[in-house]
Amino acid sequence: MAHKERVFRMLITVSQPVSKAEISAIDGLTDIIIRKMSYATDIDLHTSDTESTKNIFKSRYNVLRCKIIDEREPIMTHKFREEILRKESEIMNKVQKLFSEERYWEAHSLLEDLWRASTGETKLFFQGLILIAAAMVHYQRENLEVARRVYHRAIRMIKSTTHWKRVKGNINEEFNYPVEFPVKQEF
C-alpha cells in the first residue's frame, strides 16, 4: 500500500514584493497564490514539509509571519451555530483588525462562519461583507476589473438590506483600495 504524503496549507507574509515565478521555483510547493498588500506580500501555498519551507523563506526573505492554516470546514450543527452567533462581536472586532491590516483573505474566512450561522437579511449582509473582502483579494492578486465588479455587487447586496443604515456613512460606494471595514462600532 502506497503511503500518502500529508500536505499542509501555509500562509507566509514577507515584507518585499515577490513573483509567482520566483516562488514556484522553490521545490515542493504547490497551489501558490500571491496577494500583494500595500506594505507586504502574502503567499498562500501547499507543502508537505512545513519546517523546511519556513526555513527556506526565512533564508531568502524578510518573513513577517508564517503559519499553518487549518483547512477543515466546521460542520454547522445547531450547537456550533449558537456558539458562532454568541461570538459575533468578537469575530467582527477581529475582522475589523484584519481589514485594517489588509488581511482580507483571513477576514473573508471569519465572515464565512457568521454568514453560515445567520439567516435572512443578516445572512445577506454578511455575504456582502464577504464580497467586499473578496474584491480586495482580487485587487491584491492584480485582477482589478474583477475586483471592481465584485465590489459593486457587494455594495448592491448590502444596500438591499436594512443593515445599510449601519454602514452607509462608512463605506465608499466607488471601488478603492485599501478599504476600511465599514462596521465601525463594536458589536
Of 80, 102, 96, residue with least CA distance to 184: 96
Element of type H or E holding 98: helix 88-100
SS3 173: coil
Q: What domains can you pick out in the chain, each with its CATH number?
A: 8-69 (3.30.70), 78-170 (1.10.3450.10)
Could you give the CA distance from residue 34 to residue 23 in angstroms, rounded to a whole number? 9
Tell me: the pLDDT tens digits for 123-169? 999 999 999 999 999 999 999 999 999 999 999 999 999 989 888 88
* Other beta carbons within 10 Å of 32: 17
Tell me: the pLDDT tens digits for 69-126? 855 444 455 666 777 778 888 889 999 999 999 999 999 988 988 888 888 899 999 9
